[in-house]
Structure 1
């Protein structure tokens, strides 16, 4: 006996006179609350999942404006990183300045399949003219959906907001442009009173035009929570599952866009994948409004863990991109940032260094040298001991197998004696690599000479 599943739900727009601001959850004068309803929804990881990029939109509006040359170079890096795997599927551009339009045009002329160039506009016909002039095939359109935005920012009714949004979607469809509807502030929106009836109408238009209409689920203030049993509107699981079941939005047309205000952007994004969204919107290094967007590089490693592969992506380009942002863009990367920070795979603790000396797999997350071009590094300080100094020598000079220096080597003891003297005299900082190199010149000159020769 088969089970009959209800595939459509009749939810009508609730055109309320008084905005629903969920003040019991968002009191403003206090920290937001997490409400639980104990409803568990099924995990539903799509067969195909992707990463999209907003470095040139949300990322750029949080930094000094990028030059056209910088945008084009970063776009080339994204293509090289993806390496035609199709995992980094799209990237979006502003079109408001001549500089941004020129950069977008050059990037389109590159002819890359991935990432595809898309655009971002406000939901009005003046902005839409820019998309038509550029002949861009898909554009994102800002469609605020919480009463905070509809009543307080747009100063219109829910019905008028919905009509305005639908008119620009219809305009896009008439011109053969794929609409991507950005449901801004959905984690404070009335899901059944506005979001569901609006998205149901979008799906009707999609069916009539035989054109996929994408829905970007925008956690504008980072208020989403990833765990099960939480109530709407904050439940990431509930939002994605609700769009799938109440609105029949295909997974490939659902995209999650998160912010990191409550330090949950990566876990929220992964949860969106796990519960039915095919795309996660990211920015390089997580650069974005306030605390930032979901880091693209982090989602690559989430993808790898969920799918067991990164296809033919060139992950060492992540390191090159970080260096480009640091040197060319003068962007200060926090040193302990996962995967890209200068200290992300540096160990200082003596007991950890001893483990690395025996086998770096003990205290390194994966072969960071092979995958990212970032060998594990041991920093030397007052707690390093013999093991820490030996581990620094072996990791810094990339010594392998029989060439490795043992912590029992008397030359290591000589180096430790020098280190101990530094701290006995009141030093409080770590010993720099340049200082240790000079020490090696005196105690183990053959290693330095071999390193310079190579």
Structure 2
């Protein structure tokens, strides 16, 4: 017979919710918990740890450059608060040293280790003041991977956390697979013990709630272990964890990573963990740029962050790392604010706000563009010219400008002759400058006025 606490001898795998031979179930119990968005919320980064595992390994110089970009993006706001590193190889440690030389306040440099003393020794040698520690908390991991029971796992985790605190190192306890864990049978009693260690030591112990397989759901009234609201609320109410010690780490296996991360904020987690462009194992992590924008929506301001750096980082990944963000990825994909529909192009031409949700040119240095094809018409071509050449004010073309007609004729001939692809920007630039010869002069004059 099963014991419902730490001494249980058989794992609780929640097979009613996770039958494995079927899609996981979302079970409602209609127990509602209150929203409680913290006054201060922030973002942490794991591009160099979880993210780097999904693509070719970064060089030391590349890591240092990306770290510089993160610093520029944060721009002294403290919203992009931390980033974490591996310490296992000589290259890992060299990269950390290069980044530490910068002396940046944000993002703070942290590390990630297994809950082992030999790993903690690496943190001590590097002089890092906070480290993540892997502490798997579901019975899938405790019984089947670690080959322990709950009490043995808890004692092992507490021992390494206590060791860290004795050395003045803040442990950030990664509760791996929390969305399949027995919340009241293991998570709560374990985290209560961690909070006791925190109080005794006078140092903050942090809790990272890891949705390892992306199984969390954002709906209020869902049963544990899948409920993001109940997990965050429960960590605060039943385990005594303050909001500024709670961090959410999600994956995108069920297309919910951004919503789940925002939900964790709404129910009391101060921090969400991300990677640039959502890179990470399997379907990836929560995209950092998505949460930067989500921060602005929830708080009404992006403070001092410089969001134009997001576009620079995307360009760097493409040119330096040979990594191209999927074209339709929000905010960073090459097509995210490009329209192909003729009627939409006509709307953009009359007022950009009709089909562009915010000033992407000002905020992201990404002007709204139009892709020209057989359906674009003169309105689409005019909108493309204005966007591509960044024409402003009186220099902007409208669809009645007669200079567009020969360009329109050339486009039509392309498709009459069997073309099926969108006209490339370089082609359009060449044909446009052929028929509107003073276009670059008008652009320069307008920019000089500005």
* Length-normalised TM-score, structure 2: 0.96
2:203 paired with 1:208: no
Show CA shifts across 1:353-408 (max 9, x none).
00000011111121111111111111100111121111111111111221121211
Which of 128, 142, 152 is the matching residue for 2:134? 142
Inter-partner Cα distance in structure 1 for 2:434 and 2:131: 62
Secondary structure in structure 2 of the residue aligned to 1:79: helix
Please identify, of 292-301 and 391-400, the stretch whose mean Cα deviation from structure 2 is larger: 391-400
2:27 paired with 1:20: no
Show CA shifts across 1:226-285 (max 9, x none).
111111000000000000100110000000000000011000000000000000000111
State the Cα distance separating 1:309 from its structure 2 match: 1.0
State whether residues 217 and 228 of structure 2, in contact with CA within 8 Å, keep that contact through their aligned partners in structure 1. Answer: yes
State whether residues 13 and 198 of structure 1, in contact with CA within 8 Å, keep that contact through their aligned partners in structure 2. Answer: no
Misfit runs of 4+, over 6 Å: none
Which of 419, 427, 444 is the matching residue for 1:427? 419
Inter-partner Cα distance in structure 2 for 1:13 and 1:195: 10
Which of 396, 400, 404 is the matching residue for 1:408? 400
State the Cα distance separating 1:417 from its structure 2 match: 2.0
State the Cα distance separating 1:448 from its structure 2 match: 4.2
Inter-partner Cα distance in structure 1 for 2:58 and 2:221: 42
Secondary structure in structure 2 of the residue aligned to 1:144: coil
Which of 33, 55, 60 is the matching residue for 2:47? 55
Aligned to 2:166: 174
Aligned to 1:234: 226
State the Cα distance separating 1:412 from its structure 2 match: 1.9
2:291 paired with 1:299: yes
Show CA shifts across 1:83-119 (max 9, x none).
1110011110100001111111221221111111000
Secondary structure in structure 1 of the residue aligned to 2:23: coil
Backbone CA RMSD of aligned residues:
1.4
Secondary structure in structure 1 of the residue aligned to 2:216: coil
State the Cα distance separating 1:332 from its structure 2 match: 2.2
Which of 309, 318, 325 is the matching residue for 2:317? 325
Secondary structure in structure 2 of the residue aligned to 1:255: strand
| Number of residue pairs aligned between Structure 1 and Structure 2 | 444
2:120 paired with 1:128: yes
Inter-partner Cα distance in structure 1 for 2:112 and 2:58: 16
Inter-partner Cα distance in structure 1 for 2:5 and 2:110: 30
State the Cα distance separating 1:452 from its structure 2 match: 8.1
Which of 77, 84, 89 is the matching residue for 2:76? 84
* Length-normalised TM-score, structure 1: 0.96
Question: Where in structure 2 are the equivalents of 1:428-447 lying within 5 Å?
Answer: 428-447=420-439
State whether residues 395 and 442 of structure 2, in contact with CA within 8 Å, keep that contact through their aligned partners in structure 1. Answer: no
Inter-partner Cα distance in structure 2 for 1:284 and 1:325: 10
State whether residues 437 and 448 of structure 1, in contact with CA within 8 Å, keep that contact through their aligned partners in structure 2. Answer: no
Aligned to 2:281: 289
Inter-partner Cα distance in structure 2 for 1:449 and 1:442: 14
Question: Where in structure 2 are the equivalents of 1:333-348 lying within 5 Å?
Answer: 333-348=325-340
